[in-house]
Structure 1
Amino acid sequence: MLILHSPMDMHVHLRQGDMLALVAPHTARDFAAAVVMPNLTPPVTSLAQVLDYRQEILRVTGESFTPFMTLFFRAYSREELLAARPHIIGLKLYPAGMTTNSEDGLADMRQANATLAIMEELGIPLLIHGEGCGFVMDREAAFLPVVREWAGAFPRLRIVLEHVTTEAGVKLLDRFENLFATITLHHLFITLDDVLGGLMRPHLFCKPVAKRPEDRDALRRAALDHPQAFFGSDTAPHPVTAKEAPGCAAGIFSAPVALPALAGLFEELDALDRLQAFVSDRACAAYGLTPMARDVRLERSAWTVPQSIGCVVPYLAGQSLDWRVVD
């Protein structure tokens, strides 16, 4: 038996409407809390939208789960952010057009400074989809100079490089005490070769794209040991009709398998005793959180991941896992 105390997923996409009702219970079953992304249609850009979306989530999940809410980054006034601060965990910045529903994101990073200064003053963290323009494998590297600039210019602003995918991104954590990173489940397992090396596997296509084996290995080392790296699944469901189609949607639905697959990986790496830090303790330290007390139990018991959950194909569909969450 493995007991995790208040595990948290620090990056989830819960969607809206029927998709929310389908996927949110899987996150709420296995995690005490999660950081909810704001790239909806339309994006979450006001306190009223934050409060409405939070209530929509809780109607599905119940009160034993805490959705940590975020605002979609735009130019905000101090008054707006002061009013929103008690209800959000941070602002999520998307470069324009870099991922799903990011068309309203920031096109010129220089326009962020005024809002970043207010966030630093008020103690509101910045969460970043850290990709710039250019060749798809180099987009995270292209954005790292922006991260370095902001981390240096705003030393009291907590910055989270979401779903870090490169060895260079991990190394950047060592340069700034105010810089943190989330690491996904799938980037701990796959490389680009898994997606495109044989027949294309659309259900492994995500953004940022999976990178090289050496990048995956750097992420594994950080997951085990780096105090500024913690778990954020970036679980991002799309219906099978959007995945197995021209213009394949980017996103991997990993919520149903996140903790069992992590337990298997950490056991394989002889590091089960470090899973608690990765899925809770480091995030609590980074954000100054005290999550609701809730123990989640896993047992060694083989099970097969279903081929589909409603209209969505989950990560590791059809594969056998050695650990399962016990109610």
Structure 2
Amino acid sequence: MPSTTVRLDAPLDMHLHLRDGEMLNNIAKESAQTFSGAVVMPNLVPPVSSKAEIVAYRERIMKAIGEESFIPYMTLFFKPEYDRVFLESLREDLTSIKLYPAGITTNSEGGVSGFDVEELRPTLEAMSDLNIPLCIHGETNGFVMDREAQFVPIYEKLATAFPKLKIIMEHITTKESVEALERFDNLYATITLHHLLITLDDVAGGMLQPHLFCKPIAKRPEDREALLNIALKAHPKVMFGSDSAPHPKHAKEACGCAAGVFTAPIALQVLTELFETHNSLDNLQAFISGNARQVYGITPLKKQVILEKKPFTVPADYKGVVPMYAGERLAYSIREVKHG
């Protein structure tokens, strides 16, 4: 019996960490080989917060990926002092602006400390008028399992105050975030691979699994089911965003374990198996690309990824970065990538 094949057109990763320096050079190709493009996060040290920094970071990414066909969709680190003139000057250079609550995740110390609508109004109204989406890491500083649910009222406040502003709830992990999508026309969301698969029990229910530790932390089974339900249906307001976040092995397997799950090299294979298992393969194309094109209004590079049902053993590491499912066998392999 011939192997099952699945063809994905122009896969997009709408939330990706490529880091910088040696790490960028080591791992950027793992996304560029199979994805047509990705929304690249700006939380470097220092964060990407000017036109010159956007241009320079894009150039470093393009150098790191070599001959691969890939568009880095650039983002700016949100600051409330951005004015309309500044945003107009770089509109052609960025895809979105990323807002981090101060200190909530990796390299976010310069983020927003409060969410006073009037303080944020000049920047957010300019973004709305210029059709620049706002991506938000939505967590408070409360109890770790409640942080995202506690942030939902802030999403609601912003969605109400700026009804024409596209607001992307990044890497959602809770049923409360899923429910919020239906209440506001201008709320959208990205969902990661790992949050479709794991709960907190997988991270810390037995021996601690550092390579599954991430922020937002994985939640309860009912939260995972809510995410699965909306992703498998490819609801038009949700998109795949890996939040693939590489850290060197020594930073993960240590006290003070760094937060992030590295999934870039295995995302398409595992998503294909997951959607097939749930009899939803017909919806994978929309989740992995179609919805993002509509939400962001982008036209990705032509690239077709052909997967086949042939076992693939995940390498133990990729140049010192341990991936999710390291050493395990996956049902699908990438057979070929076609360009143009």
Q: Normalising by the residue count of structure 2, what TM-score does the alignment of the two structures yield?
A: 0.95
- Equivalent of residue 12 in structure 2, options 8, 13, 32: 8
- Equivalent of residue 49 in structure 2, options 32, 45, 48: 45
Structure 2 residues not aligned, in runs of 5+: none
Tell me the equivalent position of 1:109.
Answer: 115
Tell me the equivalent position of 2:232.
Answer: 224
| Superposition deviation, residue 326 in structure 1 | 2.1
Structure 2 letter corresponding to 1:298: L
C-alpha contact (below 8 Å) 2:29/2:68 kept by paired residues? no
- Equivalent of residue 192 in structure 2, options 174, 184, 190: 184
User: What SS does structure 1 have at the residue aligned with 2:309?
Assistant: strand
C-alpha distance after superposition, 1:111-144 (max 9, x if no partner) = 3222111101111000000001210000001111
C-alpha distance in 2 between matches for 1:200 and 1:156: 43
Identity %: 54
Tell me the equivalent position of 2:63.
Answer: 59
C-alpha distance after superposition, 1:86-120 (max 9, x if no partner) = 11111000000000000111111113222111101
Structure 1 letter corresponding to 2:55: L
C-alpha contact (below 8 Å) 2:172/2:191 kept by paired residues? yes
Tell me the equivalent position of 2:86.
Answer: 80
C-alpha distance after superposition, 1:51-91 (max 9, x if no partner) = 00001001122361000000000020111100111111110
C-alpha distance in 1 between matches for 2:148 and 2:329: 32
C-alpha distance in 1 between matches for 2:85 and 2:305: 39
C-alpha distance in 2 between matches for 1:160 and 1:315: 25
Tell me the equivalent position of 1:169.
Answer: 177
1:274 aligns with 2:283: yes
Structure 1 letter corresponding to 2:72: P
| Superposition deviation, residue 176 in structure 1 | 1.2
Structure 1 residues not aligned, in runs of 5+: none
User: What SS does structure 2 have at the residue aligned with 1:14?
Assistant: coil
Tell me the equivalent position of 1:142.
Answer: 150
| Superposition deviation, residue 290 in structure 1 | 1.4
Question: What is the Cα-based RMSD across aligned positions, in Å?
Answer: 0.8
Q: Normalising by the residue count of structure 1, what TM-score does the alignment of the two structures yield?
A: 0.99
Q: Which runs of 4+ in 1 moved over 6 A?
A: none
1:254 aligns with 2:251: no
C-alpha contact (below 8 Å) 2:104/2:139 kept by paired residues? yes
C-alpha contact (below 8 Å) 1:95/1:132 kept by paired residues? yes
Query: How many residue pairs align between the two structures?
Result: 327
User: What SS does structure 2 have at the residue aligned with 1:42?
Assistant: coil
C-alpha contact (below 8 Å) 1:133/1:142 kept by paired residues? no
Structure 1 segment 26-41 matched on structure 2, within 5 A:
26-41=30-45
